[in-house]
Every structure is written in C-alpha cells, then in structure tokens.
Amino acid sequence: MMRKSVFIWIPVLISACHPAVFSGGMEQVLSDTLRDASCAYMTRDTSGALVVSWVEQDEGVETGTFYYAVSADEGKSFSAAKKVATATGIQPHAENLPKILFRPNGEVIVMFGTESNDPRNKYAGKVLYTRSPDGGQHWLPAVPLVTDTAGYDQRYFDMALLPSGEAVAIWLDNRKHHQQEGSTLYIAATGREPGFGQERQIAQTVCQCCRTALYVDAQGALHAAFRDIINDTIRDMVHMVSTDGGQTFSPPVRISPDNWAIRGCPHTGPTMVKNAEGLHFAWFTMGGGQGVFYCQSPDNGITYTKKESISALPTAKHPQLTTLRNGGLALVWDEAADTSGNRIGMQHKAGNGETVAKGFITPPEVFASFPVLEPVGEGSVLVAYKKRVKEREMVCVQRVAL
C-alpha cells in the first residue's frame, strides 16, 4: 500500500505592482514518501480526467520507474498511483521529462529517457517508449524511439496529439550532416504500423541540453520551439510552425533577439501556448537581462512583442505556461529565494498578456522546483512540482485559485 502524507499551509504572496490574489489550497503528496520522486508532468486522458505522472527511485538506485495518478474531480483527489512496469531504468531529469499521452483509440504511450551506454559518447542518452493498447491495463515492452545504429544519442523530447488522433514526437539527435556544433531536431509520428515511424530532420544546430516544446493549436497547426545555436555562439529561442501535420515547417525565427553568447548548455527550455490573442512564450536567458521572460506573437509567429521580465530575481528558471478556460494565461517558474530555499512563482495574465496578479505558491524556506500546471474548474489551476523535505524528494500538487 502506498503511504501518503498531506501538508496544509497558506502561502504568502508578494507583489509590488500587481496585488497577488491567489488562494492556495491543500498541498497533496502524490508520490511514495519512502522513495525519492521527481519529474512531475500533467495531462488529461480521453475522458478529460486529470493525470499527473512522475518518476520514483528506490533507495540507492540512480534510475527510476514511471508512475501516474488520475483525478476525476479536477485535482481535488487522486487515485492510487499506477506503476508502468515497462517504463523503468529512467534517468530522472526534469528537462528530459518523461511523459504520458492518451490517444482517442484507447492507446496510451509513455516516453522516457535512459542512459545510452554508447562508447562514442559517455554522456549520450536513449529515448524509449512503451505502449498500452487497452487504456493502461496492460503494457507492451519498451522499444527505442530510434533504431538507426548511427543514432546513439536522443533526448529532450516532447509529445503531442494531432487532430487525426495520431501521436507526434520531436527530439534532439546526434545524427547530422555537418561539422557545426549542436544537435539535430527530429520528428516522428504514429501511423498505420504500431509505434512511431517516418522520422526525419526538421532543424539543425539546436542547443544540445535544453528541452524542446511541441504544441498543437486549436486550428491543428503544429508549433515547435527550442533553443537554437546561431552563428556558432548565440543560444536564443526560436519558433517554427507546420500547417500540414508536421510534413513541412516554416524556417526557425527568433522569438526575441537576446543575443546570448555562451559556450555551454543552460538546461532550461521554452514553453508556449496559443489563445484568441495569439501565441505566448516564456523562456530563460542571460542575454539582455537574466531570468525568465515572456513575449507574444499576434500573427502566428511572423512578429513578436518585446520581451517582458517575469521575476525580479535573476535566478528564475524553468517556466511553464497554460491557457485558462476564459482565454487568460497562467505562468509558473522556480527561483532561488535565498541560499537554502527555492520557491514556485506564479503569474496570472489576461488573454492579451497583461499581468493581472503575481506571487508565490510555496514559501521561500522550502525547496520546490520544476513546476508544471493545468487549468482546473473555473478560474483555478493545479500545479505539480518537486519538493525536498530533509533528504527526501517528493512530487506534490496544489490547487490554486486565480
């Protein structure tokens, strides 16, 4: 029987310009408190029920196993954790985030990253996925996303559901036909044959260690965002879009001319959503300022507004965006509050991007990081995150009223 703990507290909210009006609810611990847990992710199943997933590790073991729980009441309560026994050996990494996807035909896909153990690159990773043809009752053995023996390093993937009901994935890959720095961005989709197929390159010179973002809008367009390497030294965020189901993409365009020149990997990728006002982006940079920034594109990626700083602290990283049911936006991130704590920040925006309120949903003395979120009910969001208590890490959720 999985042991659970529940903590109740009222968050302190601080905002100089926009009064914070968030109302924090009960913090629930979803993971087993006898194991370390991380890599919180959130989605919905085919019935619309909320699904939170994570990775748990046994004591002294560096890799973990995939778990998920389902909520039929918009995050107020959750089922017992469900273990996906064929999704194991996972390298817990919140940028290379394991994900679960529910297809309309009843198939469920879990995708995750493992060690590659390839002599050509000791740091290489491998992306695997396991499928359940019956809604999660039974799981098939995990298989590699890439079977080409020339492909020994795949990671920083994302998955989405196409309007056709097929699943699509993008990822960073070592295979390239040039000598420039960076990885290649690949795409593959499900089809007539089981699993993913018809892989192909869609971008090159991509920063090797930041998560990618894949988003399907209400019109069926497929958007990809990632950190590109421009002129060998600049690592800025770019966006590209496909209006034919991923067959072709527009050229990558910078969402902001940050001109961040760095010979290294920031390990913090972009996030994007779309509403009636256009596309909205958030990301981390140290070019033209440091921390998390926000911008929007009213014309589907042709032009972009000037970036807006989200947090007063340069330690802000790992942003995630969602659209609310009324067309507004909610944005979360994490930031180091002092030498010992790490807190989760939140910003509520109107549909046009104007800030309505901002504050924090965890106290500064607690170490909380890597938040994800999903709209629930009317005017609320559920936020999931990793929280450290003494030497133990756990996955928590908190329902927050905006």
Average per-residue pLDDT for the chain: 92
For residue 262, count CB atoms less than 10 angstroms from its CB and return exposed for 0-12, middle for 13-18, buried for 19 or more.
middle
CATH for the stretch 30-206: 2.120.10.10
Q: Is the pLDDT confidence value at 13 over 70?
A: no
pLDDT in tens, 130-147: 999 999 999 999 999 999
Please report the pLDDT score of residue 12 as a whole number.
Answer: 35
pLDDT in tens, 177-228: 888 999 999 999 999 999 999 999 999 999 998 999 999 999 999 999 999 9
Provide mean pLDDT across the span 361-372: 94
How far apart CA 273 and CA 38 sit, in angstroms, is: 24
Domain positions in the chain? 30-206
**Lowest-confidence pick of 15-29, 59-73, 163-177, 256-270:** 15-29
Share of the chain above pLDDT 70, in %: 94
Q: Is the pLDDT confidence value at 21 over 80?
A: no
What string of DSSP letters covers 282-302? EEEESSSSSEEEEEEETTSSS
Provide mean pLDDT across the span 79-90: 98
How far apart CA 87 and CA 65 sit, in angstroms, is: 6
Three-class secondary structure of residue 243 per DSSP:
coil
DSSP 8-state code for residue 121: B
Please report the pLDDT score of residue 16 as a whole number.
Answer: 35
Contacts of 246 (CB under 8 A, 6+ apart): 162, 168, 187, 189, 202, 222
Q: C-alpha dihedral over 385, 349, 160, 163, to 10 degrees?
A: 150
Please report the pLDDT score of residue 190 as a whole number.
Answer: 98
Q: Is the pLDDT confidence value at 25 over 90?
A: no
Q: Is the pLDDT confidence value at 4 over 50?
A: no
**Residues in a beta bridge with 242:** 222
pLDDT in tens, 245-299: 999 999 999 999 999 999 887 889 999 999 999 999 999 999 999 999 999 999 9
Please report the pLDDT score of residue 11 as a whole number.
Answer: 37
Please report the pLDDT score of residue 23 as a whole number.
Answer: 64
Residue 5: band (very low, low, confident or very high) from pLDDT cuts 50, 70, 90: very low
Are 289 and 257 a contacting pair, CB within 8 Å? no
